Chain A
Amino acid sequence: SQQGEEDPQALSIQEGENATMNCSYKTSINNLQWYRQNSGRGLVHLILIRSNEREKHSGRLRVTLDTSKKSSSLLITASRAADTASYFCATDQTGANNLFFGTGTRLTVIP
């Protein structure tokens, strides 16, 4: 499979704590994207990191990319109940025409 894999599959934290989720993939990439999916809704794009970038920030989000380990992490700081959702990584793989989505991390933020 060309899909990435997120780890952990599920994560439960208290409001105000930081949440970290990881994505591993198998092939070389042009970029990696993170998406959020609220229950019963479509995916929403959060952030894109290119293969030549190592870290990127957007508000409370911090994404890192290690191409040597073929992995990425998404950190959400000072989490809020509204951050409760599933988070997916998607890889734009070199030589492929499609985005390949991972299996997702289900984040629950307890108020």
Chain B
Amino acid sequence: NAGVTQTPKFQVLKTGQSMTLQCAQDMNHNSMYWYRQDPGMGLRLIYYSASEGTTDKGEVPNGYNVSRLNKREFSLRLESAAPSQTSVYFCASSVSRRSNQPQHFGDGTRLSIL
């Protein structure tokens, strides 16, 4: 009963390196999301995918790209990492984008950029 699985759990990068964060859900959810969590800031939405084949920008999309590979998988890519992208990244999914649907979260990827 995995729910939302994120890999890797931890990563250290040097400035300018690229990386892809992976997310997969086994709940047959249509919608998926990427958030970042910074101290004192709460969670902020980076990108979301309302359904397979669609992606849209959230509140803080600059410096990131996403791919909705199939219904299960939604990846987040940092093309040229910057220290300001040091954060904890969470993937979430929900049955749909309808407002009464709760979101289910993975346990996060802790990313440090030196």
Contact = CB atoms under 8 A, between A and B. Distances in A.
Nearest to A33: B102
A31 B101 CA distance: 10
B100 A42 contact: no
Interface of A: 2-4, 30-31, 33, 40-45, 48, 50, 88, 92, 97-99, 101-104
A45 B102 contact: yes
B60 to A, nearest CB: 11
B24 to A, nearest CB: 14
B105 interface: yes
Contact of B42 (A30, A40, A45, A103): A103
A99 B103 contact: yes
B99 A43 contact: no
19 contacts: A3-B42, A3-B44, A30-B99, A30-B100, A31-B100, A40-B108, A42-B4, A42-B107, A42-B108, A43-B92, A43-B103, A45-B103, A48-B102, A97-B56, A98-B45, A98-B48, A101-B42, A101-B44, A102-B42
Contacts of A33: 102
Interface of B: 4, 35, 40-45, 48, 56, 58-59, 90, 92, 97, 99-100, 102-108
A36 to B, nearest CB: 11
A98 B42 contact: no
Contact of A43 (B43, B44, B100): B43
A42 B42 contact: no
Nearest to B50: A97
Contacts of A98: 45, 48, 58-59
A22 to B, nearest CB: 15
A2 B58 CA distance: 13
B100 A50 contact: yes
A92 B99 CA distance: 6
Q: Give the one of B42, B44, B48 with max A CB within 10 A.
A: B42
Q: Give the one of A4, A40, A42, A44 with max B CB within 10 A.
A: A42
A53 to B, nearest CB: 12
A44 B105 contact: yes
